[in-house]
């Protein structure tokens, strides 16, 4: 019996989240004997509840799909909507009524930790209600903090962007002979994977960035200032990379030294300003030129520095979700693991979504060296395959051509 499938995107976008959507759509269209229509939630579960949905099978042409694969951000739009813990809440009945009205047999949700919480609740609710709808999570997050899977689509491109941009910042910082410190703030609330990628910017041992700080190691302000002093003694221009989520031994975020962080809808503290705060400490202590740089959303939306490996793996994650759904899977998230072969190869599988939702995978502490200020060689072996290659791009007037849902035409 043919079924319709529904796909949504949730949480913070990445450079390759639409490549996963491309994988879902193309794999769905490759099985006309089992799948009739691929529908897309507009703005995730929240938008779907408001009746916002589109027919991806009909509305996107072959050219649109190629553009979709290279378009950053979430084509369908995103949300940060938390379903109630109580599975008897009225919203679940409304959702399953909508699933029934569209003939949905499977729902695929592309997202991170909190999105997997949505997959978990919906799959458990379906069992309680005896509904014949399967739910599968497709991983995405630049934070690379989902457990079980080796890495997440989105991380490789973010790491490539960070490594490339920090290298350019280091070169820029080196042009003057006067002492100066540049502090680069990178994303990572609880896990330092994105910040760790800054080590890839070095051209040789002892090159900038000289100091790297991540949430996995408690941050001590006085020790930080001592480290900066020692670095300035080595060379006049020092680049420091810090995670937004660095915190002291008491668990207090460094950014909170200036003011209290606000909370998002999931109760996570919205962090920013660690580099700016550290800039003032360094300037007041050493009276040298100090600049802070916050890369912000560029880390997750730069498709021009996307990794070909990341794009390819994002597509495969979307395709795997459809294939596993056709095999009867539900309540699961797509995973990847490295095969034990001389070359870099991945094997795709599934894990129960409860192994992932509301959990985080930190950066391995044994990969952090120099008393919490540097990254060991294990990370290089791990990360280099993830940033490999340049994807083919469709260009127009010297710029990449993207797909815009608001206009329903290439933009």
The per-residue pLDDT of the chain, averaged, comes to 94
Residue given tokens 């390759």 in the structure block: 16
Helix axes 62-70, 308-326, angle to 10 degrees: 120
Domain of 129 in residue numbering reads as: 1-152+301-358+388-398
Q: Same domain, yes or no, for 6 and 144?
A: yes
Q: Is the pLDDT of residue 268 over 60?
A: no
SS3 label, residue 385: helix
Reported as a single tens digit per residue, the pLDDT across 8-66 is 999 999 999 999 999 999 999 999 999 999 999 999 999 999 999 999 999 999 999 99
Number of domains in the chain: 2
Q: Same domain, yes or no, for 1 and 148?
A: yes
Q: Same domain, yes or no, for 137 and 10?
A: yes
Provide the pLDDT for residue 265: 54
Q: What is the pTM of this model?
A: 0.94
Q: Is residue 371 part of a domain?
A: no
Reported as a single tens digit per residue, the pLDDT across 60-99 is 999 999 999 999 999 999 998 999 999 999 999 999 999 9
CATH number at residue 203: 3.40.50.460
Q: How far apart are the first and last CA of the chain?
A: 38
Provide the pLDDT for residue 1: 72
Q: Same domain, yes or no, for 229 and 329?
A: no
Question: Which whole number is the average pLDDT over 253-273?
Answer: 63
Helix axes 62-70, 17-29, angle to 10 degrees: 150
Q: Same domain, yes or no, for 280 and 206?
A: yes
Q: How many CA atoms lie within 13 A of 326 on its CB side?
A: 18
Q: Is residue 409 part of a domain?
A: no
Q: Same domain, yes or no, for 6 and 142?
A: yes
Determine what percent of the chain is predicted with pLDDT higher than 70. Answer: 95
Q: Which of 298, 321, 348 is where one domain is finished?
A: 298
Provide the pLDDT for residue 411: 40
SS3 label, residue 287: coil
The band of 2, judged by pLDDT with boundaries at 50, 70 and 90, is confident
Question: Which whole number is the average pLDDT over 284-305?
Answer: 94
Would you list which residues are annotated within the binding site for Mg(2+)?
113
The more confident residue out of 26 and 407 is 26
Q: Is residue 344 part of a domain?
A: yes
Q: Is residue 369 part of a domain?
A: no
Q: Could you give the C-alpha distances from 42 to 9, 166, 394, in angstroms and in order?
A: 8, 35, 25
Which residues does 62 contact at the CB level (< 8 Å), separation at least 6? Answer: none
Q: Are 363 and 376 in contact (CB under 8 A)?
A: no
Q: Is residue 374 part of a domain?
A: no
Q: Same domain, yes or no, for 87 and 148?
A: yes
Q: Give CA–CA dist 206/204, Å, rounded.
A: 6
Provide the pLDDT for residue 255: 86
Q: Same domain, yes or no, for 241 and 134?
A: no
Would you list which residues are annotated within the binding site for diphosphate?
12
Question: Which whole number is the average pLDDT over 143-153?
Answer: 97
Reported as a single tens digit per residue, the pLDDT across 214-251 is 999 999 999 999 999 999 999 999 999 999 999 999 99
Q: Same domain, yes or no, for 292 and 317?
A: no
Q: Is residue 365 part of a domain?
A: no
- Active-site residues, by number, are 143
Question: Which whole number is the average pLDDT over 267-279?
Answer: 74
Q: Same domain, yes or no, for 312 and 343?
A: yes
Q: Is residue 85 part of a domain?
A: yes
Provide the pLDDT for residue 259: 60
The band of 273, judged by pLDDT with boundaries at 50, 70 and 90, is confident
Tokens of residue 341, six digits:
């072969």
Q: Same domain, yes or no, for 197 and 286?
A: yes
The band of 267, judged by pLDDT with boundaries at 50, 70 and 90, is low
Taking every pair of Cα atoms in the chain, the longest distance, rounded to a whole number of angstroms, is 73
Q: Is residue 379 part of a domain?
A: no
CA-wise closest residue to 121 among 359, 361, 354: 354
Provide the pLDDT for residue 262: 47
Q: Is the pLDDT of residue 302 over 80?
A: yes
Provide the pLDDT for residue 326: 97
Would you list which residues are annotated within the binding site?
12, 113, 141-143, 187-189, 244
Count Cβ atoms below 10 Å from residue 255 Cβ, excluding itself: 25
Provide the pLDDT for residue 313: 98
Q: Same domain, yes or no, for 89 and 223?
A: no
């Amino acid at each position: 019996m043919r079924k319709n499938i529904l796909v949504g995107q949730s949480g913070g976008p990445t450079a390759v989240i639409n490549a996963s959507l491309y994988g879902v759509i193309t794999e769905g269209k490759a099985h006309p004997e089992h799948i009739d229509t691929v529908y897309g939630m507009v703005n995730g579960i929240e938008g779907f509840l408001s009746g916002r949905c589109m027919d991806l099978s009909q509305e996107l042409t072959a050219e649109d799909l190629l553009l979709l694969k290279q378009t950053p951000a979430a084509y369908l739009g995103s949300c940060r909507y938390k379903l109630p813990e109580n599975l008897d809440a009225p919203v679940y009945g409304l959702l399953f009524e909508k699933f029934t009205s569209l003939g949905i047999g499977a729902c695929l949700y592309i997202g991170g930790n909190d999105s997997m919480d949505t997959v978990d609740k919906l799959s458990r609710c379906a069992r309680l209600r005896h509904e014949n709808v399967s739910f599968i999570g497709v991983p995405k997050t630049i934070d690379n903090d989902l457990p079980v899977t080796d890495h997440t689509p989105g991380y490789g491109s973010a790491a490539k962007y960070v490594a490339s941009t920090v290298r350019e910042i280091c070169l820029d910082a080196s042009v003057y002979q006067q002492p100066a410190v540049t502090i680069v703030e990178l994303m990572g609330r609880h896990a330092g994977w994105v910040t760790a990628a800054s080590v890839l910017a070095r051209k040789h041992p002892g090159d900038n960035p000289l100091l790297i700080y991540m949430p996995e190691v408690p941050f001590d302000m006085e020790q930080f200032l001592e480290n900066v002093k020692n670095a300035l003694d080595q060379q006049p221009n020092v680049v420091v990379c810090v995670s937004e989520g660095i915190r002291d031994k008491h668990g207090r975020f460094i950014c909170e030294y200036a003011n209290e962080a606000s909370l998002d809808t999931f109760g996570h503290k919205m962090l920013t300003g660690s580099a700016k705060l550290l800039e003032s400490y360094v300037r007041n202590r050493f009276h040298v030129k100090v600049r802070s740089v916050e890369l912000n959303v560029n880390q997750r939306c730069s498709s021009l520095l996307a990794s070909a490996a990341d794009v390819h793996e994002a597509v495969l994650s979307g395709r795997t979700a459809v294939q596993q759904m056709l095999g009867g899977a539900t309540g699961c998230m797509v995973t990847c693991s490295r095969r034990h072969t001389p070359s870099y190869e991945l094997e795709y599988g599934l894990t129960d979504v409860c192994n992932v939702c509301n959990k985080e995978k930190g950066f391995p502490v044994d990969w952090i060296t120099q008393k919490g200020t540097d990254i060991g060689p294990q990370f290089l072996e791990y990360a280099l395959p993830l940033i490999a290659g340049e994807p083919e791009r469709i260009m127009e007037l010297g710029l990449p051509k993207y797909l815009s849902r608001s206009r329903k035409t290439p933009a």
